[in-house]
Amino acid sequence: MARDGARPGSRPAAAGRLRLADYLPYRLSVASNRASGLIARAYQARFGLSIQEWRVIAVLGEGAPRTAQGVCEATAMDKVTVSRAIRALDARELVRRSANEHDRRASDVTLTPEGEAIYAEVAPLALRYEAALLEGFSPDERARLMALLSKLEARLDAGGFG
């Protein structure tokens, strides 16, 4: 990054003009897609899982049963996407649904032993990919990156845009 905040080789945009390569939401999307794609190839090839299905398994792998709504909140995926992923995982017997004791309209979703085995195999691989991705960062830079992402997420949660 140049001292003025511009990326090396980028030209300043004229006032009021959008330069996609310097637009934060675009940059975040590109980085997210590329980072997700690294690990996705591994679990897609080995287990036939989509990114969305892996995210459901990853959240359920934390141990606590979750409703579909709870999975939506934990993954920032929409209801339709989560419902499709849960249905696909249920069809493959990687998750189990049971009645929620607090809300009869909802089901608690947990991993089956087969789902837990996939989680146990993919989670360490995902952590290795993350470590490799952050390899050039100092511990302070890693902490700062996470703090900045948390701050950005809190700002997005607060809303009040346009």
Q: What are the Cα distances from residue 76, in Å, to 11, 16, 43, 143, 155?
A: 34, 31, 20, 22, 15
Domain that holds residue 48: 43-156
Residue 114 in any domain: the answer is yes
Q: CA triplet 52, 126, 58: central angle to 5 degrees?
A: 40
Average pLDDT over residues 21-38: 92
Euclidean distance between CA atoms 26 and 92, whole angstroms: 35
Q: What is the mean pLDDT of the chain?
A: 90
Euclidean distance between CA atoms 26 and 8, whole angstroms: 17
φ/ψ (deg, to 5) at 3: -60, -30
**The length of the chain, given as a count of residues:** 162
Name the percent of the chain lying above pLDDT 90: 72
Residue 7 in any domain: the answer is no
CATH of the domain at 127: 1.10.10.10
pTM for the structure as a whole: 0.80
